[in-house]
């Protein structure tokens, strides 16, 4: 019998318990023994449920129990999630988490602490919900030098953009629909301003390039200023606007950003719809490979957490290949002078450039952000991937 504890019994924490219960026979077969939830740390008591007797209010109760070998942290937020994770690792208990905020800010510290205490710290569910992406980056693609990562990392914003594209809804109406369906929080700021996607691309870049950069230093633009007319103009050629997280190594610098970009019909990311995520990884040997699936939700995310739980319980002493250090802000590049194709909506014709005319807009080749801002005052412009 393996005894674990769950910190936070909300959407994901409750999902973990459901997955463990629903798949208990398969899990016992794979592991060779049962997994028991010994404690649930939460503010609520869950009276009248089968979990009532194992709810505790003090993390110390869990830390002091030598039978607890693993802690699943699904509390959300930075504090006290970070402090509880650190304390569990120091107490000789492995930790798994879905908490992208903690991983993005304190991941290097927690990984080092796990190593020092001969335990493990895994966070597959912190990016992409149920999509396997962390372990493939670290293990399956280990023979490649990762060149770039580009993806739709937030299902809420992707749903909103789909509502605007398919139903002609305004941003406000599409957001309201996302909230009504439970895809967006009452306060949707983290999603629509790009902060959630920014934390995720920071994590992916750390795994790919070995440097975890402070999220506040990463260029970030959400979808709140997106105009429906740009969605409609691009629909004429089957193109889509997507909120993209991107990281690429160029010499000794990392280009990293989150912003709306245009995906043409031949880009696989253009077909990623609804609350799904799509993550394109390019390796120097493999070329491009895409990871696709539900990027959020109770059971998809819980599935990824349980995967980490079983990975650790099967190999508690494994030395993980996950490692990164703190990156210096000076190593980040904003890519404002790089030449790309841009969608530009403006009245003035882009004379002197190769371009394709749309209805009141242009696809202009080989131009930089700096040039666009210096030469014109466009109503809107977005990089074409």
- CA atoms of 115 and 49, how far apart (whole Å): 37
- Strand 94-97 and strand 121-122: the pairing is parallel
User: For residue 262, what are the contacts with CB-CB under 8 A and spacing of at least 6?
Assistant: 234, 239, 240, 241, 242, 343, 382, 383, 384, 385
121-122, strands of its sheet edge to edge:
55-56, 35-41, 2-7, 68-73, 94-97, 121-122
For the question of residue 200 being annotated catalytic, the response is: yes
User: For residue 286, what are the contacts with CB-CB under 8 A and spacing of at least 6?
Assistant: 141, 144
CA dihedral 199, 202, 204, 208 (to 10 degrees): -170
- Is 82 within 8 Å of 106 (Cβ atoms)? yes
Q: What is the residue whose two structure tokens read 């939460």?
A: 42
How many CB atoms neighbour CB 143 within 10 A? 10
Q: Which of 2, 198, 200, 240 is catalytic?
A: 200
Cα-based angle 263, 184, 133 (whole degrees, multiple of 5): 55
| Closest to 268 measured CA to CA, from 297, 289, 294 | 289
Report CA 223 to chain centroid distance, whole Å: 17
| Closest to 342 measured CA to CA, from 244, 261, 247, 226 | 261
How many CB atoms neighbour CB 326 within 10 A? 12
- Is 71 within 8 Å of 47 (Cβ atoms)? no
The set of catalytic residues is 200
């Amino acid at each position: 019998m393996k005894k674990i504890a769950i910190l936070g019994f909300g959407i994901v924490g409750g999902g973990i318990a459901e997955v463990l219960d629903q798949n208990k026979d398969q899990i016992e077969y794979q592991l060779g023994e049962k997994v028991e939830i010994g404690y649930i740390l939460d503010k609520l008591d869950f009276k009248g449920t089968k979990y009532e007797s194992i709810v505790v209010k003090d993390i110390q109760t869990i830390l002091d129990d030598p039978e607890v070998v693993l802690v699943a942290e699904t509390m959300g937020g930075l504090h006290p999630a970070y402090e509880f994770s650190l304390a569990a690792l120091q107490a000789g208990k492995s930790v798994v988490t879905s908490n992208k905020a903690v991983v993005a800010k304190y991941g290097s510290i927690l990984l080092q602490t796990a190593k020092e205490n001969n335990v493990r710290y895994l966070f597959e569910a912190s990016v992409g919900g149920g999509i396997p992406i962390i372990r493939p980056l670290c293990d399956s693609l280990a023979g490649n030098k990762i060149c770039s990562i580009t993806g739709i990392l937030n299902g809420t914003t992707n749903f909103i953009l789909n509502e605007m594209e398919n139903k002609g809804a305004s941003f406000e109406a599409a957001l309201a629909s996302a909230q009504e369906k439970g895809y967006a929080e009452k306060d949707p700021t983290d999603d629509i301003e790009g902060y959630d996607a920014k934390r995720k691309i920071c994590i992916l870049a750390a795994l790919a390039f070995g440097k975890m950069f402070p999220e506040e230093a990463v260029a970030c633009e959400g979808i709140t200023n997106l105009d429906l007319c740009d969605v409609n103009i691009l629909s004429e050629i089957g193109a889509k606007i997507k909120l993209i997280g991107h990281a690429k190594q160029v010499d000794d610098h990392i280009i990293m950003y989150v912003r709306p970009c245009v995906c043409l019909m031949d880009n696989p990311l253009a077909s990623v719809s609804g609350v799904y995520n799509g993550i394109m990884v390019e390796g120097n040997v493999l070329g491009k490979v895409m990871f696709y699936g539900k990027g959020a939700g109770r059971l998809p995310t819980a599935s990824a957490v349980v995967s980490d739980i079983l990975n650790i319980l099967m190999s508690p002493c494994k030395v993980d290949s996950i490692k990164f250090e703190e990156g210096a802000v000076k190593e980040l590049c904003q890519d404002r002078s790089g030449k790309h194709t841009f969608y530009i909506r403006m009245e003035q014709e882009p004379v002197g450039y190769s371009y394709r005319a749309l209805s009141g807009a242009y696809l202009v080749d080989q131009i930089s952000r700096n040039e666009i801002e210096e030469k014109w005052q466009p109503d809107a412009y977005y990089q074409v991937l």
